[in-house]
Structure 1
Amino acid sequence: MAARRSAAATREEIRAAATRLFRERGFTGSSVRDIAAAASSDPALVIRHFGSKELLFLETMQLSFDDDRLRDVPLGALGERFVEALLATDDDTRRVFLALIQASGEPAVAARLAELHDANFVAPLRARLTGTEVDARARTAGALLAGLLYSLWVVDDGAALTADRDGLVRRYGALLQAVIDG
């Protein structure tokens, strides 16, 4: 007879299975039954532990951009460095971003995307900017950064990246720097 798992162990196995499936298949491509099967669990336990597939998705699809490497960058060089940092993000970040975008028709996911956009792009820039229209400039810069990710990861415009990465950093960095500088 197999040993029973603790509730905490079951919850963690469900969470790990959901994380993997959501990153591989997205929100709509991962059913509660699929998640339960991958966790060697019962679908009812998925709901018991997380409430709904959407709540499980929101708990597992965390996205954060490490802006520590940008803290000591002089403001006049921040545009290019921010673009370089975005282009250096790992595949795991890309998968989470895509899963969130694909599920953005769900109101709670759309709200999470707005929070993540503000926390990862707008707030770090807002904290560094001075002068007039700080919030508007930070939001515009955030939109430019999100647009770059959309082009590269959603519509897969790899030609923009592979043709001339340094040129892309210079061109996009200059656009971003113009907004940062105001």
Structure 2
Amino acid sequence: MTARTSRGRRPGAPDTRAEVLAAARASFAEKGFRGTTIRAVAAAAGVDPALVHHYFGSKDDLFVAALEIPVDPRAVLAPVVAAGPDGAGERLLRAFLGVWDDPAVQPGLLAMVRSLLVDDAGGRLREAFVPVVVGPVLAGLVADRADVRIPLVASQVLGLIVARYVVALPPMAQMPADDVVARIGPVLQHYLTGDLA
């Protein structure tokens, strides 16, 4: 008598979620965001696609989880967007600095940024992080030309991350958060709502 092989979904073992995340990281690194599918990640992890959806929801959520970001930027940005476009540049920067200046969170964020910038020459940042994670949230703050405004905001914020946290460029690295907000907040506000002509 031969053992019967079961078909369908593999039961969710305690390490199944980690296996799905490992398969997702490998796929996002190799194929990029567009080339990765829930079905392919599930096949690589040996699970049913429904289990991937159960653990992570959408492909966007799977991507955020695979990055191992210590905070979900969509949740951080939601109150900024909810308060409307007026003053959003300063609010955005305060929210951003509040997360990045937290010593419990900063090491994980630095690891994520280094991975995004170096490991795949910015491909995941360009293909997915900005257009999939940050762009849709920030779109709630712009009335027009989101295709121009959001990359301008992203370029300013990425430059700030690199100067203040990755390279620790003086005096940017030592500048009090209030000074950073006073100097860069108006630039972000201009990118969000100002005249781009």
| Residue identity matched to 2:83 | V
Aligned with 1:8 (options 13, 30, 37): 13
1:61 matched to 2:74 = no
Aligned with 2:160 (options 130, 148, 151): 148
Aligned with 2:135 (options 122, 136, 153): 122
Indicate conservation of the 8 Å contact 1:83/1:169, yes or no.
yes
**Aligned partners of 1:85 and 1:110: how far apart in 2?**
24
Q: Give the corresponding residue for 2:98.
A: 88
**Aligned partners of 1:117 and 1:91: how far apart in 2?**
24
Larger helix percent: 1
The TM-score with structure 2 as length reference comes to 0.55
- Number of equivalences: 139
Cα deviation digits, residues 109-130 of structure 1 (max 9, x gap): 8433331223443332223211
Q: Give the corresponding residue for 1:43.
A: none
Indicate conservation of the 8 Å contact 1:141/1:180, yes or no.
yes
1:77 matched to 2:87 = yes
Shift of residue 153 of structure 1?
A: 1.6
Shift of residue 178 of structure 1?
A: 1.3
Indicate conservation of the 8 Å contact 1:123/1:138, yes or no.
no
The TM-score with structure 1 as length reference comes to 0.59
Shift of residue 151 of structure 1?
A: 1.6
Question: Percent same amino acid at aligned positions?
Answer: 19
Cα deviation digits, residues 55-99 of structure 1 (max 9, x gap): xxx964333312122133231200000000000004455333322
Indicate conservation of the 8 Å contact 1:152/1:161, yes or no.
yes
Cα deviation digits, residues 13-63 of structure 1 (max 9, x gap): 7899x9xxxxxxxxxxxxxxxxxxxxxxxxxxxxx969xxxxxxx964333
Q: Give the corresponding residue for 2:31.
A: none
**Aligned partners of 1:116 and 1:93: how far apart in 2?**
18
Shift of residue 158 of structure 1?
A: 6.6
Indicate conservation of the 8 Å contact 2:93/2:181, yes or no.
yes
Shift of residue 106 of structure 1?
A: 3.6
Aligned-residue RMSD, C-alpha: 3.4
**Aligned partners of 1:154 and 1:163: how far apart in 2?**
15
For structure 1, list consecutive stretches of 5 or more residues without a partner in the other structure: 1-5, 19-47, 51-57
